[in-house]
Every structure is written in structure tokens, then in C-alpha cells.
Amino acid sequence: MAQKDRPWLFRTYAGHSTASASNALYRSNLAKGQTGLSVAFDLPTQTGYDSDHVLAAGEVGKVGVPVSHLGDMRALFADIPLDQMNTSMTINATAAWLLALYVTVAEEQGADISTLKGTVQNDIIKEYLSRGTYVFPPAPSLKLIGDIAEYCYTSVPKWNPMNVCSYHLQEAGATPEQELAFALATATAVLDEVRPRVSAEDFPGLVARISFFVNAGIRFVTEMCKMRAFVDLWDEICKERYGVEDPKLRRFRYGVQVNSLGLTEQQPENNVYRILMEMLAVTLSKKARARAVQLPAWNEALGLPRPWDQQWSLRMQQIMAYETDLLEYDDLFDGNPAVDRKVEALKAGAREELARIDDMGGAVASIDYMKSRLVESNSDRLAKIERGDTTVVGVNAFTGGEKSPLVDEQGGIMTVDPAVEQEQIDRLNDWRAGRDDLAVRRALDELRTAAREGRNIMPPSIACAKAGVTTGEWGTAIRAEFGEYRAPTGVSKAVSNTATGLDDLREAVGDVAARLGRPLTFLVGKPGLDGHSNGAEQIACRARDAGMDVIYDGIRLTPEQIVAAAREGRAHVIGLSILSGSHLPLVRDTLARLAAENLSVPVVVGGIIPEEDADQLRADGVARVYTPKDFELNRIMFDLVELADPDRIIAAE
């Protein structure tokens, strides 16, 4: 028996409402035995907007903490010594800005920034593919990643400047082979970018600072083999592609959050077992064990977890690490022929996909290709659940049972007070009023000049943080130089060759289209800043395959833009997809704009929507509300056909 290993970092992905409320949550979690921080930022912060921007309406403090300026960052880490902390910040497009704020607060605390430990995710390619919090086009985005890597290597050497994130790739439908290949292609794109920035002697050390953030699904044997494949392939790439000779510098270092996509609204107590089984995939194999683990809470398919729910997930980690004998043994799977065969098969599939991406010119040049593959894979995954080929307990099998006592009269989740948004805006206005405007203008001018001239963005970003610049002002300055970008949707116009079992649905669509006198037109809209587009893409694909004309322009649209598209496209039904918790204000805004233009178009809404909110939406005039429990896409399609039927409309009148 080998010497007992140290446990991985225990983290909880957390942040909501306000910086001060999130700070209290962090300090409480640390007191419960959490050993690292994992910061969730709200969508305006992630996309470079201030809390009072039109696109931020309804989004402030919903999926994370709003950080609009240095004052917010100070409040977020008050009484938390950053030189003693290991902090992961899930931030991508605005990573340079949030790191600048973090470094500034650490300096104010008296820390030697060269000792800071932590990670910025800083993976923009997966944002184009799966999560949607991108801002800038690929080329300048890759340069920003390089700027952060170069700055960290010289000034914050213990900090991980990039966390290649395959987590959201799996959430978007990636197979294990695709997850391996797309993540490794992203890592090589970044290393190719930063390689010219440092000496050949120093480059292996920079390679060693690249870390990964992965997903682990319920097929935990396959997922464990995937992690062993990651270890082997990364070692191979570092040695053969980049000439890194020291094995220690070729180590595959990763953190993990296990799969949130597989958590179910139905029988949500079952999610506890799912989370536990998925954690086994990233802890059982010593060779491929995670360096840091954060687990979702059992009720994340219902809404925002409460502190107790997060504590329950933390205790799961602690029991695994401290009560079992897992950390006392060498790797349990070395020499296992079944494991070896599966690992080699995954590596072969990943190498084939990597070669294809290389032939296309690398990850950035292959964004359209990778996005379309993810949409196809996700369609296949959902179809297997619908057909019953994949069993999901409580969803398409064993659906009967007792009502969960964990879901109380409040719904078993935490809700964010709507007043938080105005309070944050008030604090933002106070901040603006109390700063030196001349210093702000000078700092922003220097930031834009640095961006225009191609200089490293980190030093002027830190100067902006110290001058009192806001997140939105930083974002506006960088947008002015780099421009903005709209990623591909992955939803083609062509009907899928794999679509089957749609004959009755296509006939119904055709009948209604004949009565309408033109094709049944369905608009899929993503209002606000929510970038989780997987559901919207699958709805759009199924409607297309059913014979509808589909209008889908991707993410991050205002209600005004959606209503304009519905008017111009003469949509018969509008479907709004919102998973960020901002459904009430965004849907109401859309309904009001439709009424103002006398557009009588039925609206359906999908998202993580508590039943109380669903009742309010229906009372407001929403025709249908769908949540994750509504996994049968064909049933939703028949609902759309019914809503568009002119005979129904005449009868209703």
C-alpha cells in the first residue's frame, strides 16, 4: 500500500445576488471545510456590460455575482486573504479584466502577487461552441488569452492563465472522443499563440501552467477511461508537438464539475446518486485523478441551490476523501485489459478527430465544423432518450413514485430578490459619482491605444482597475478596437438525414400550412444574455425536420429585436428559451412589445422555470411553458402546430 495521497481541492461553484452576499457565502463554505474558491459571475459581468445596460435587464445577480468595478471585487473578497487562497474564476471573454481586478485587490491586501494561486478559465473557443459568453472575434480573443498567459508567466507564475474547458462541450452533446479532441485542439491553438512570446528555454514552464476543466457523465467507467486517455494524449502532444522533455511539465492537470446536464427535474432526489457516481469517474483512478472537484447540487435542474444544498455536495466530497480508503492505494486500473482497450479506442477516435481539425487549419478555423458536430451529437443523444434506447430513471422509465419531501413549499430552491438589480445599479452610480473622471478617461485611452497597437492588455487593464473603470467601460473600449462576433448556431437549413418517426408530425404541419396559405413559421428567440443555446438549437432542428420554416438567429437578442424578427418573418409562433432565471422580465417585455405592435402571435417559453413563475407567465398570456421535464420534442412540436392552426384561432375568437 502506497503512502496516503493528499485529497483534491474541495470547491463549490458559487456566487449570486451581490458581492457582499457572495462573500458571506464564501466565508461560510470555507468554514465548512471547502479548501478553494470557485467564483460564478453573472452574465453582464461575463459579457462585459455594466449592470444598467439594456442587455443586463433581468440578468443582474441571477447566475452569479455582479462585479462592475474594483469596489465590488473588494466586497467579494473582504476578510478572505487572497495570498492564502486558491481561487478559480469562471470567466472567459472578460478574463483579463477580472484578473486585473483580482490582482489589484490582492495588492491592496498586502499580498505578494507572485504567490497568488488560482485559475481564470479564459477558454473562448468553447464559448463559441457551447456556452455563448463570447464577445470578440476569434483572432483578437486568442491574442487576449496569450496576453494573460504571458503576463501570468512573468508576474503571477503560480497562476493558471487558462483552463481549457471541455465541460460545456459535453453539455452541448459532445461524445467522449469529441470532448477529447475539441479540448486538445483548443489547447494547441493557445500554445501555438503563446509560444513566440517566451524563450524556447522558458516555454516548457508555460506549457505546464495550462490546465483543464472537464465534465464527467453518468457512464462513469467510460468517463474514467476518458480521463486516462486525456492524460496519455496530453503527454503525447506536449512531448511530440512541443518538445517538452520533463515528464512533470507534461502532467495533465484538471479540475472538474460533474455533469449538470443529466440532472433531472423529475424525481430530483435521484440526482444525489448521479452526482456521486459521476464523482467516482474523476477520483478512482490515481493516474487521472482531478486536482480540484466541484459538485452541482441535487436541485440545480429546479433552480438556484440553497447553502444547505451546496453543503450536502461538499460533504459528499469530504466523505469520499476522508472516510474511505481511496487515497491509500496506487492506481486501481493499471493493467486492466478492459480499461486499456477502452482507453486505446477513445485515443484512436480522438486522434482521428484531431487530425481532421488540423487539416482544416486548427481549432479557430474549425469552429463551424465543431459546432455542427456538437448539434448533431446532441440531437442523437436526445433522440435516444425519446426512443427509450437510453434509460433515464424517473424520466422515461420508473416514472411512478412518491413525491419528493426535499422539494418544500418554497420549491426547494433559492430565489434572487428582484430588488437586487436596482440596488446594484444604485451602487454603480455611486461608484461613478465618487471617482476621478480624468483618471478614468486617461486609463481608458491608454487601454484602447494598447489594444490598437497590439501591446499586452494586462498592464493597462490593471491601471484601469485602479482608476475606477467599470466592467462596461472596459468592455466598450475593447469592443471599439477588436469588434464583436456572432458565433455559428450549428442549425443548418437542411433537414437531418437521421430524423425518423416524424411522418404524423410532418402531415400535421403540412395540413396547417395549407390552411395558413404558406409555410408554418416558427421563431426561436434567445433574449437577454443567456448563452445556453443547446435546448434552443434542438427545438429549432426538430421544427425544421418537421417541415416548419424556422427563424433562429442565435443568442443574445433584445426583446425588441425578437419582435422585429417575428414581424418581418411573419412568424406564426414565437418560442423563447431562457435558462438564466431572467424569464419573467424578459418575457413580459416581449409580450408588451408584441401588444404595442398589435401582433397576435402566441408565445411559448422554455427554461429552468419554477412552477410559481410558470403560473405567472401563463397569467401574463404565455401559451405554453416548458421545463427540463418536457423532453419529448415531438409533443412540443404538436403543441406548436395546434397554436398556429388558424381554425383554433378562429374558434378562440
Q: How many helices (H) and strands (E) does the chain have?
A: 25, 15
Strand-pairing partners, residue 575, are 524, 604
Q: Give residues with Cβ within 8 angstroms of 206, minimum separation 6.
A: 149, 153, 194, 198
Q: Is 342 among the residues known to form the active site?
A: no
CB neighbours of residue 69 within 10 Å:
23
Strand 13-14 to 9-11 pairing: unpaired
Q: 53, 69, 126, 168: which one is catalytic?
A: 168
**Can you say whether the dihedral through the CA atoms of 125, 126, 128, 134 is positive or negative?**
negative
Q: Is 53 among the residues known to form the active site?
A: no
Q: Which residue has the cell 481564470?
A: 120
First to last CA, the chain: 78
Q: Is 583 among the residues known to form the active site?
A: no
Q: Give residues with Cβ within 8 angstroms of 268, minimum separation 6.
A: 298, 299, 301, 302, 404, 406, 407, 412
Measured CA to CA, the distance from residue 557 to residue 536 in angstroms comes to: 13
Measured CA to CA, the distance from residue 469 to residue 441 in angstroms comes to: 9
Q: 526, 549, 572, 626: which one is catalytic?
A: 526
Selection from 223, 200, 367 nearest residue 281 by Cα: 223
How is residue 87 written as a grid cell?
A: 481561487
Q: Is 526 among the residues known to form the active site?
A: yes
Q: 53, 126, 532, 583: which one is catalytic?
A: 532
CB neighbours of residue 437 within 10 Å:
11
Selection from 132, 125, 138 nearest residue 43 by Cα: 132
Q: Is 404 helix (H, G, I), strand (E, B) or coil?
A: coil
CB neighbours of residue 355 within 10 Å:
11
Measured CA to CA, the distance from residue 9 to residue 27 in angstroms comes to: 16
- DSSP code for 131: I
Give me the torsion for CA of 444, 160, 307, 470, rounded to 10°: 0
Find the helix or strand (DSSP H, E) in which 471 lies: helix 471-482
Q: 102, 134, 151, 167: which one is catalytic?
A: 167
CB neighbours of residue 79 within 10 Å:
9
Q: In 77-127, which residue ranges form alpha helices assigned H by DSSP?
A: 95-108, 124-126
Find the helix or strand (DSSP H, E) in which 524 lies: strand 521-525
Selection from 536, 537, 541 nearest residue 494 by Cα: 541
Q: Is 572 among the residues known to form the active site?
A: no
Q: What share of the chain is helix, strand, coil (3-state, %, to 5)?
A: 55, 10, 35
Q: Is 16 among the residues known to form the active site?
A: no
What are the DSSP E strand ranges found in 553-644? 573-577, 603-606, 624-626
Residue 514, burial from CB neighbour count under 10 angstroms (0-12, 13-18, 19+): exposed
Active-site positions read 13, 167-168, 526, 530, 532
